[in-house]
Structure 1
Amino acid sequence: MQISDNDGQYDFSLDRFESMLKTNDILFFDADEFENITYYYLENGKMSKAKKAIKLGLEQHPQSINLRLFHVEVLIFENKLNDANELLESLQEIEPSNEEIYIQKACILSKKNKHTEAINTLLFALNHTADEADVHSLIAMEYMFLEDYEQAKIHFIKCLESDADDYSSLYNVIYCFDFLEQPHQAILFLNKFLDKSPYSEVAWHQLGKQYMSLKQLEKALTAFDYAIISDDHFLGAYMEKGKVLEKLKHYQEAIDNYLITLELEDPTAFAYLHIGKCYDKLQQPEFALQYFLKAANEDPLLDKVWNTLTDFYYKRKDFRKALYYINKAISIDEANVHYWKRFAHINKKLHFYEEAVKGFKKSLDLGNYELETWVTRCDLLLELGEYELAKETLLQAKEFHPEAAEVFYRLSGVSFLINSPSEAYSYLKKATHIDAEYAFIMEELFPEVFKRQSVQKFLNSL
């Protein structure tokens, strides 16, 4: 149901109705006027005024099917589904071929999570509608609720067959292809679609993204170029083109495209960040830092910016500034394992071993069970003289890496240090059995233990 095309008359009716509400006078409006007024209020979320318009409209035009259908919409909005369904049943007896009745019935079924029944009702509505695209869209959404993306895709495509400018359906079709992990099929579909709609900037943009997912960067670049030709103000196309050029190591061209996005709309931290990264690759650190700081100023809650600044200073061995920025990243995303590992390594470089141990412990707690994390934490604990805690760390590491010689040599060494020789020899035997060449670990980390005659004799007997 749409409002009248006669905008001037519509505005006049709306003004009269608003005036009537203020004065409490009862004025007469024909049924079309009430329908247009109600439609306006519903579209603009003014539910209380919509209800008044429906009430007054039905008092003056009790036979109006459209006003009663608007009443159904209100009842559904208020979750009075049984009342809405009863009203629809009565309307169906009067106008059994009115597609809006079946659409609203399907809406109620959908709200009750009866999506298959909703689909069947909408399929019936297809026989009575002049706007098949709208009904196909509703059917597709019900299939989405059922997570049947193949069927959803079919009905979204039918929408596009009726209206190639239905970008909502186009995005939804691509969403289905993506969910089903069908990039090749998506590319075939988009190329056929572009044969009929060669100036669809959205289709070119989506085609480029599909090529990017397959790492076909040159084809992606061509697609984004066509998107820009179709609409030279299409910010998304410039952004994606910049990403492709960055991957192709055409850093200056990438910068040029990111700069265009800054002209088209308000600056984004994302664009500033990537411009900075390109300048960094071009060995222009001053410009890189300038844009990294602009990104941080634009969106101080974007942790990736602070992490990038950490990398920037880490590469230049300015570990104190790197530590400052990784702390900022962690304050935004405390559950990021990568940030905690960087925190640990930076503190290690600064010889802040206790803080480094804390960082590695946090990364382990967050599920990072890489061998390097375990052994580096152990080595720091050895440096701090925390032999019992080092052994406890290694015993945990052994559970995750039962065949890691690095772990068993360290277990042997630390067991010697805490006067557990029988365990120490047992671990040393296991370590040499796994890989005798790693025996240098004993010499590097436990030189005093390594010099013991008994240890030398054991190692020389291998």
Structure 2
Amino acid sequence: MNQDFPFLNDDPEELKELLQQFENLKSGQSHSFLDEDSFELIIDYYDEHDELPNAMQAAEMAIEQFPYSSTLLLKKANLLIESKKYQEAMALLEKASILDSTDINLYILQTDVYLAMNMHEKAAAILEEQINAFEGQDKTELLLELADVYDDCEEFEKVFDCLKLTLEYDPNNEEALHKICFWTEFTGRNEESIRLHTNIINEHPYNHLAWFNLGTAYQGLKLYEKAIDAYNYALVIDEKFEYAYRNIGDAYIRLRKYSEAIEILKKHLEIAKPEDVIYEAIGHCYERQRKYTQARYYYRKASHLSPSDDKLYYKIGVAYMTESNWENAIKSIMSAIKINKNCAEYLIALGQCYLELDKNKEGLIHLLAAVRLRPTSVNTWQEFIRGLYISGYYDEAIIQLDAAFEKLGHKPALSYYRAAVMFAQGKTKEGILQLENSLQHSPKHVKKLIELDPTLLQHPAVLELIARYKRTTRKKGKEKE
């Protein structure tokens, strides 16, 4: 309210006096005169303080005194809309339109009524008919209102079209610039956004939001270098434009330029409030650089800001696992599981840690729990059976392989695992037949066998069979050429 009537910031006593005069008028204690502007102030005060009955009473008394005031009729109509009395509101709006058809609030309120009544097409039609009748800020406001109506109608392409039209008319409108950034990504109309914002920049080269939107459009097309250039121009204009730092960081990560990403994200931390996502992104960059101590440091900083984010504790645990620090990895992964008990990925990691510590029973318990959580996942079965193999439970591994095949059907990795288990059981002939069958169906998955147990390559028959299929595959490849 004080933005509409700034003088009230300087003299709050004036409003106090007006409200007292109104109370006196209501009770019949005073015959003092309140002018139209005073009634408007009183109505707005009660409306903004959610005192709807007082606001409505003030509006009715004002209209009784000033029956030909379109502004007062619009204010009462707005109160009726808030009270969900849509038919009464529309009748007042029609009366107001006869008195003054040049007030854009008339059309915005009509739009509000139609939207409230789920008559979206009529709401859009009202604005579409009136836009060309207005100029300047009024035209811009109606265009933005129309964009919101299209959003309510779920006509998302029209939202983009409307915002584009708004910016062609009013290139520096911040609301439109902010909104079109989202809708460009949502609709995927990056090429149009590039043309639009390039035109804006040609006319208004110091429009930092236009440079930023140009960057996001390039980023949407995976043109990361061009995106970074655009964001940097935005930062030249506004060096504290924090979203530009974030997006540059993301672009560098996509380009796998982790040092550059770390540098720009740390600059973001200097100018903006610390955020968990920024710390997490820096941690990710350090992890990619194999600097696990620094990675954990930033993951921890992220977890301090977001202590209920289980993924952060898991990432700390994975960083420990990469350094074979199994005990600390277990502590971190357990913290993740306390927050989210139903994540098979966490249970698998925990099981792997226990297996590495030769605590096979604990490891298998967690791997089995992962299978129960995700019984249709090949990876969970693969890890569980790998655990049984490592632990020497070959008979149980065969039983679980049968269960997995029954649940999932034929899966190449598990077929190779069956061959490995047969070799471990001393069933060499069956193992060779199983391996040959696996090679016939999916030769490229033989790496699963080698990953499970590299020592199998020391078996002459296994080595000869794999070599033969590799020769056959190469020969077929040359024949196709």
Q: What's the TM-score bracket when you normalise by the shorter of the two chains?
A: 0.7 to 0.9
User: RMSD value over aligned CA atoms?
Assistant: 4.1
CA 1:344/1:249 → structure 2, altered by over 3 Å: closer, same or farther?
A: same
2:16 corresponding residue in structure 1: 15
Mapped contact 2:131–2:139 kept (Cα < 8 A):
yes
- Give the aligned residue type for 1:88: L
CA 1:335/1:283 → structure 2, altered by over 3 Å: closer, same or farther?
A: closer
Deviation of 1:63 (Å): 3.4
Work out whether 1:292 is the aligned partner of 2:335.
no
Cα separation, 1, equivalents of 2:322 and 2:433: 41
2:110 corresponding residue in structure 1: 105
1:343 to 345, 350, 363: 350
- The alignment partner of 1:164 has SS state of coil
1:200-215 map, 5 Å: 200-215=207-222
Mapped contact 1:394–1:407 kept (Cα < 8 A):
no
1:1-150 map, 5 Å: 3=4, 11=12, 13-20=14-21, 27-39=32-44, 41-42=46-47, 47=52, 50-95=55-100, 98-126=103-131, 128-130=133-135, 131-150=138-157
Deviation of 1:42 (Å): 4.1
Unaligned ranges ≥5, structure 2: 454-481
2:439 to 432, 435, 442: 435
- The alignment partner of 1:435 has SS state of helix
2:478 corresponding residue in structure 1: none
Cα separation, 1, equivalents of 2:104 and 2:308: 49
Mapped contact 1:306–1:325 kept (Cα < 8 A):
yes
Deviation of 1:43 (Å): 5.3
Cα separation, 2, equivalents of 1:79 and 1:389: 67
1:395 to 390, 398, 403: 403
Cα separation, 1, equivalents of 2:245 and 2:418: 53
2:314 to 303, 307, 313: 307
2:197 corresponding residue in structure 1: 190
Cα separation, 1, equivalents of 2:120 and 2:339: 40
Cα separation, 1, equivalents of 2:331 and 2:19: 60
- 285-294 or 228-237, which moves further after superposition? 285-294
Describe the superposition over 1:270-324 as per-residue Cα deviations: whole angstroms up to 9, x where unpaired: 2333334445556655544433332222221233422321122111111121122
2:245 corresponding residue in structure 1: 238
CA 1:328/1:50 → structure 2, altered by over 3 Å: closer, same or farther?
A: farther
CA 1:176/1:32 → structure 2, altered by over 3 Å: closer, same or farther?
A: same
- 295-304 or 326-335, which moves further after superposition? 326-335
1:331-370 map, 5 Å: 331-361=338-368, 363-364=370-371, 369-370=376-377
CA 1:97/1:18 → structure 2, altered by over 3 Å: closer, same or farther?
A: closer
Describe the superposition over 1:50-72 as per-residue Cα deviations: whole angstroms up to 9, x where unpaired: 44542443344343322221222
Cα separation, 1, equivalents of 2:437 and 2:397: 25
Deviation of 1:6 (Å): 5.5
Cα separation, 1, equivalents of 2:413 and 2:160: 53
Cα separation, 2, equivalents of 1:412 and 1:282: 35
Deviation of 1:155 (Å): 1.3
Mapped contact 1:208–1:223 kept (Cα < 8 A):
yes
CA 1:274/1:7 → structure 2, altered by over 3 Å: closer, same or farther?
A: same
Mapped contact 1:201–1:226 kept (Cα < 8 A):
yes
Cα separation, 2, equivalents of 1:378 and 1:280: 29
Mapped contact 1:398–1:404 kept (Cα < 8 A):
no
Cα separation, 2, equivalents of 1:165 and 1:80: 38
How many equivalent pairs are there? 440
Cα separation, 2, equivalents of 1:111 and 1:409: 62
Deviation of 1:181 (Å): 2.0
Cα separation, 1, equivalents of 2:180 and 2:14: 40
1:251-262 map, 5 Å: 251-262=258-269
Mapped contact 2:19–2:42 kept (Cα < 8 A):
no
Give the TM-score of the pair, scaled to structure 2. 0.76
Give the TM-score of the pair, scaled to structure 1. 0.79
Cα separation, 1, equivalents of 2:189 and 2:97: 42
- Give the aligned residue type for 1:61: F
- 57-66 or 317-326, which moves further after superposition? 57-66
- 8-17 or 297-306, which moves further after superposition? 8-17
